[in-house]
Structure 1
Amino acid sequence: MGYRVKLTAAVVRNLAKMPASVGTRILDEVEALAQEPDPTRHVKKLKGGSQNPFYSLRVGKYRAILNICDDVLLIVVVEVGHRSRVYRKH
């Protein structure tokens, strides 16, 4: 049983602005991550000690910032973008 994936409204807008091949690749990587028994093994934990930490998924020069909720088997994609800009909020 895999994790469910939820995209925020900001992510949907950002994916629409990206080249189609990049957006598709990011979504494919997130879906593949959702099928893993422990998705935190394949992502980098971002610094900052909040109770629900953020993780970064690398897809070429782009990054997806994720919140992985193990208790409800949910991956929330909170931000996507080029690596030079995506970390500014998180």
Structure 2
Amino acid sequence: MGYRVRLTAAVVRNLAKMPASVGTRILDEVEALAQEPDPTRHVKKLKGGGQNPFYSLRVGKYRAILNICDDVLLIVVVEVDHRSRVYRKH
């Protein structure tokens, strides 16, 4: 039993633009996170966000911005990009 992972359309587009090795590594890290009993222990909570906070998963020089819904065991990947650009979007 683990968390399910959902990718937004923007994430799918960004992954397609990245080198294949980077995209595969990011997806592998998100899948590994989904198998953890408490995934919030392995990510950085971002400031703001209110009721549904955003989290940042570090994968080399890239970041995956996540929304973790514990009540339905779901991880939504909201954004994936290089660390120099990803935080400006949210």
TM-score range, shorter chain: over 0.9
Q: Secondary structure at the match of 1:80?
A: strand
Identity of paired residues, percent? 97
Superposed CA deviations along residues 47-72 of structure 1, whole A, max 9, x for unmatched, are: 01410000000000000000000000
Residue ranges of structure 1 left out of the alignment (5+ in a row) = none
Q: Tell me the residue number matched to 1:10.
A: 10
Q: Distance in 2 between matches of 1:76 and 1:57?
A: 12
Q: How many residues align?
A: 90
**Superposition TM-score, scaled by structure 2 size:** 0.98
Q: Secondary structure at the match of 2:56?
A: strand
Q: Distance in 1 between matches of 2:49 and 2:77?
A: 19
Q: Secondary structure at the match of 2:72?
A: coil
**Superposition TM-score, scaled by structure 1 size:** 0.98
Q: Tell me the residue number matched to 2:62.
A: 62
Q: What's the Cα RMSD here? A: 0.6
